[in-house]
Amino acid sequence: MALFVHKYGGTSVGTVERIEAVADKLQTFRQAGHDLVVVVSAMSGETNRLIGLAKSIQDQPAPREMDVLVSTGEQVTMALLCMALERRGIAARSYTGGQVRILTDSAHTKARIQDIDVVNIQSDLQAGRIVVVAGFQGVDEQGNITTLGRGGSDTTGVALAAALKADECQIYTDVDGVYTTDPRVVETARRLDRITFEEMLEMASLGSKVLQIRSVEFAGKYKVPLRVLSSFVDGPGTLISVEEDDTVEKPVISGIAFNRDEAKLTIRGVPDVPGVASRILGPVSKANIEIDVIVQNVAADQTTDFTFTVHRNDFDATRQILEQTAQELGAREVAGDNKIAKISIVGVGMRSHAGVASKMFDALAAENINILMISTSEIKVSVIIAEKYLELAVRALHTAFNLDANETVSE
């Protein structure tokens, strides 16, 4: 008998039939004697639909009202799931984030969980009920509804599992685990039995949206056993593990992540003097725009070209800021490209293997794909390339690093 936190994503609860199927699954767990706290997402497409409604009225709706609006999606699912459970004779009770009291900061649309009151949930569990919680939402000190950013129900699940000291947090989704890369892009992608937190954190932050990055951070920090599984087919899924598994020989690269949401800007012919980087990036950061990869090249004429990437949504705003900075610094020009993508190879095995980056560059060169920028850390190498080559590049790297399903690596 264990305590599980389950999280069901949008596709898994996308229709009434699927909600009924989730109720069947929960009944099986219940019959095996387990306690269950279930976090649900909005039915698939619902959050986008709500955002669309808001945008049809106002370009930039107030973040507070956006949260009031988009949090309704999860509330629908939680009630329907409780009804499906009750119909099966299983006692269940639903809670919004505010009713649990998932306390967050007040950063509307990207709030962070600060504290969770588990009293209500625990007394329901003791009374033999399944507790169903709306994912993605919380409440701030003043009682305002907040949301946790897209994909935030994963974080609700892991945070509840941490607060309740659950035996495992199980993320049920539309794929049967974490794959070497997005299985919807590379058909030969392989499911991983295990992946380390460190690797999963890199994969999530570099664009693999199978788990929201904050949920992985939470799981690592509070040592929550975390598993990704399919709602539709039974199987072991993927365990996100604290320890590296020494029993199998680790491949050098565990996975490939990619992200189409990037844009690149260059300010050319800036005087190469101390303080220039801060003069260029300072106003961008002040506008709350996150900067990702940065490259600076010095030319023979004592000037420098400075290039960096931002989220594609921030492209126009960043360009405007840079035009202003370019005038102040007497730069030659500002150039931009928002049709780029970032591909990253990730693996803790990189620490003990040389030549990983050059193997990546060779594989891309063999396909005639030009690398625009490079960035590395201890367990990843990222490159920026033209977006039109993204799929070709991911496939080429997947094969070059022996990740294809028909290869025999460690299984």
Residues interacting with ligand ADP, by CB under 6 A? Answer: 9-12, 41, 151, 173-175, 178-179, 181-184, 208-210, 255
- DSSP E strand boundaries for 184-243: 194-196, 226-230, 238-241
Closest to 153 measured CA to CA, from 129, 175, 169? 169
Closest to 324 measured CA to CA, from 293, 286, 372? 286
Q: How far is the CB of 182 from ligand ASP (least distance, A)?
A: 17
Q: How far is the CB of 12 from ligand ADP (least distance, A)?
A: 6
Q: Which is nearer to ligand ASP, 151 or 347 (CB)?
A: 151
Cβ contact 342:389 at 8 Å: no
Closest to 299 measured CA to CA, from 340, 336, 267? 267
Give the ranges where 208-346 is alpha helix by DSSP (H).
Answer: 213-221, 276-286, 315-329
Closest to 347 measured CA to CA, from 188, 192, 185, 195? 195
Q: Which is nearer to ligand ADP, 93 or 214 (CB)?
A: 214
Binding mask 191-230 for ligand ASP (x = CB under 6 A): ----------------------------------------
Q: Which is nearer to ligand ADP, 6 or 129 (CB)?
A: 6
Q: How far is the CB of 154 from Mg ion (least distance, A)?
A: 6
Q: Which residues pair with 264 in a beta bridge?
A: 309, 337
Q: CA 359, CA 278: separation in Å to the nearest integer?
A: 34
State yes or no: residue 136 binds ligand ASP (CB under 6 A). yes
State yes or no: residue 10 binds ligand ASP (CB under 6 A). yes
Instruction: Give me Rg for the CA atoms of the chain.
Output: 23
Q: In this chain, which stretch among 39-47, 61-69, 191-199, 277-285 interacts with ligand ASP, using CB under 6 A?
A: 39-47
One-letter amino acid of 320 = Q
Q: Which does 181 bind (CB under 5 to 8 A by kind): ligand ASP, Mg ion, ligand ADP, none?
A: ligand ADP
Pseudo-torsion of CA 399, 405, 406, 411, nearest 10°? 110
Q: In this chain, which stretch among 108-116, 145-153, 296-304, 334-342 interacts with Mg ion, using CB under 5 A?
A: 145-153
Q: Which is nearer to ligand ADP, 95 or 179 (CB)?
A: 179
Q: How far is the CB of 117 from ligand ADP (least distance, A)?
A: 25
State yes or no: residue 41 binds ligand ASP (CB under 6 A). yes
State yes or no: residue 42 binds ligand ASP (CB under 6 A). yes
Q: In this chain, which stretch among 144-152, 235-243, 328-336, 361-369 interacts with ligand ASP, using CB under 6 A?
A: 144-152
State yes or no: residue 151 binds Mg ion (CB under 5 A). yes
Q: Which does 178 bind (CB under 5 to 8 A by kind): ligand ASP, Mg ion, ligand ADP, none?
A: ligand ADP
Strand, coil or helix: 257: strand
Q: How far is the CB of 237 from ligand ASP (least distance, A)?
A: 18
Q: How many CB atoms lie within 10 A of CB 248?
A: 12
What part of residues 152-191 is at the interface with ligand ASP (CB under 6 A)?
152-154
Strand, coil or helix: 362: helix
Beta-strand pair 373-377/380-386: antiparallel
Binding mask 7-26 for Mg ion (x = CB under 5 A): --x-----------------
In the sheet with 145-147, reading across from the earlier edge strand, the strands are 113-116, 102-104, 137-139, 145-147
Q: Which is nearer to ligand ADP, 87 or 184 (CB)?
A: 184
Structure tokens given for 185? 């892009």
Q: CA 176, CA 196: separation in Å to the nearest integer?
A: 17
In the sheet with 291-298, reading across from the earlier edge strand, the strands are 291-298, 303-311, 262-271, 333-337
One-letter amino acid of 29 = F
Residues in the chain: 411
Q: Which does 208 bind (CB under 5 to 8 A by kind): Mg ion, ligand ASP, ligand ADP, none?
A: ligand ADP
Q: Which does 73 bind (CB under 5 to 8 A by kind): ligand ADP, Mg ion, ligand ASP, none?
A: ligand ASP
Binding mask 43-72 for ligand ASP (x = CB under 6 A): ----x-------------------------
Residues that bind Mg ion (CB under 5 A): 9, 151
Residues that bind ligand ASP (CB under 6 A): 9-10, 41-42, 47, 73, 135-136, 150-154
